[in-house]
Structure 1
């Protein structure tokens, strides 16, 4: 993360900064170790403080890159499935994929929109959508909407942090990253809690239906 951030800050006055942001966002759609949220926030915060890169351009590139990365994950799921590789069979991966499958079966649109804010979650959801044969005609418009909302959200965090400490771009970038990480954690916890409550309610309803009528 530090290496990528240093490179981005060094490239702010070069057109290459847009290529870097776009590429990182695309890759993060199917490779979670790449910190796309942090990079987009840093780019926006530095842009506010120094005048470049342009936050509006970052929004557009991040939105397109996010949708592209999500669709790559979808096609990877459709091509290789979600059980072929050893890492997919680890307990944490299995739990994430099961969570994704349940969410898609209950409320696909909400799941795809919320998962975009959860780095590992979005990959699990998008690959599961592909592996389970979820309609791509329905999938890709939702990823465009999710990518646009996520890009605006990430850039706004960077812009606000950059304005807060406009004379110190590095500090603004750091503050923005911390805010993004905290909000991402909150979204993850809330979505997990909601999913568990829905699952418990469904199990309770199923159990009540199975009880014999007196």
Structure 2
């Protein structure tokens, strides 16, 4: 099996398929681009020097596909918004869109970069960027930086797996995939904890001295 996968990895089709996976993952989250990229890189690194050109092609294909997928999600959001289709109105997806809208309004660069590593968050942020008319000339450079950082992290995970299990390329690929899943889960968990902490902080009422004057909330002053 390992020899078969290694042989396939050395064909021109492997980078093209990886590019396609990464592109589709930009607007269709069930496509597991992270596991495919890390698995392919782990296999390439563990195969030996003869697979180095393939590893480079995989890195390039993953980066190009990821950036293209981001742009596709941006275009979908710009054209159809974030409420047209039924899946967009599911509670979790709706919550992700609302979260993305609130964050993009204040710090678009930070959240376009961070959302790359959060399941569903990447699609929500990129589509919301399009729906809220964030200028594409601003979106594209951030998307490219995010893609490069994501590919670099995938390469690090694959390097660790192949360093541990270089004698078994197939096992190295499986361990690399497992590591990428663990990293993704930890990032998602950290993001949830941060959101909950901020939510609790926002729920704390402001001190009386910092609260809005009553006349701003009621009476004739409310219209001023």
TM-score, normalised by the number of residues in structure 2: 0.85
Computing the radius of gyration over CA atoms, which structure comes out larger, 1 or 2? 2
Between 133-142 and 198-207, report the one with greater CA deviation: 198-207
SS of the residue aligned with 1:68? helix
Deviation at 1:207, TM superposition (A): 7.5
| 2:102 equivalent in structure 1 | 102
Deviation at 1:212, TM superposition (A): 4.1
Whole-angstrom distance in 1 between the partners of 2:7 and 2:152 = 24
Whole-angstrom distance in 2 between the partners of 1:78 and 1:207 = 41
| 2:145 equivalent in structure 1 | 145
Q: How does 1:119-198 map to 2 (within 5 A)?
A: 119-198=119-198
In structure 1, list runs of 5 or more residues that go unmatched.
Answer: 1-6
Whole-angstrom distance in 1 between the partners of 2:146 and 2:202 = 27
Per-residue CA deviation, residues 32-71 of structure 1 (Å, 9 max, x unaligned), is 1110000110111110121326323322221121111101
Check whether the contact 2:41–2:55 (CA below 8 A) recurs between aligned residues: yes
For residue 37 of structure 1, the aligned residue among 34, 46, 49 is 34
| 1:3 equivalent in structure 2 | none
Whole-angstrom distance in 1 between the partners of 2:207 and 2:30 = 41
Whole-angstrom distance in 1 between the partners of 2:207 and 2:13 = 58
Whole-angstrom distance in 2 between the partners of 1:203 and 1:140 = 35
Whole-angstrom distance in 1 between the partners of 2:206 and 2:62 = 43
SS of the residue aligned with 1:97? helix
Deviation at 1:203, TM superposition (A): 5.0
Whole-angstrom distance in 1 between the partners of 2:10 and 2:108 = 41
Q: How does 1:11-50 map to 2 (within 5 A)?
A: 11-50=8-47
Check whether the contact 2:25–2:32 (CA below 8 A) recurs between aligned residues: yes
Per the alignment, do residues 9 and 106 of structure 1 end up closer, same or farther by CA in structure 2, a change over 3 Å counting?
Answer: farther
TM-score, normalised by the number of residues in structure 1: 0.88
| 1:83 equivalent in structure 2 | 83
Check whether the contact 1:8–1:17 (CA below 8 A) recurs between aligned residues: no
Deviation at 1:24, TM superposition (A): 0.8
Deviation at 1:160, TM superposition (A): 1.6
Check whether the contact 1:49–1:168 (CA below 8 A) recurs between aligned residues: yes
Per the alignment, do residues 32 and 142 of structure 1 end up closer, same or farther by CA in structure 2, a change over 3 Å counting?
Answer: same
Per-residue CA deviation, residues 98-151 of structure 1 (Å, 9 max, x unaligned), is 111122123211111111112311001101111111121111100000000000
| 2:221 equivalent in structure 1 | none
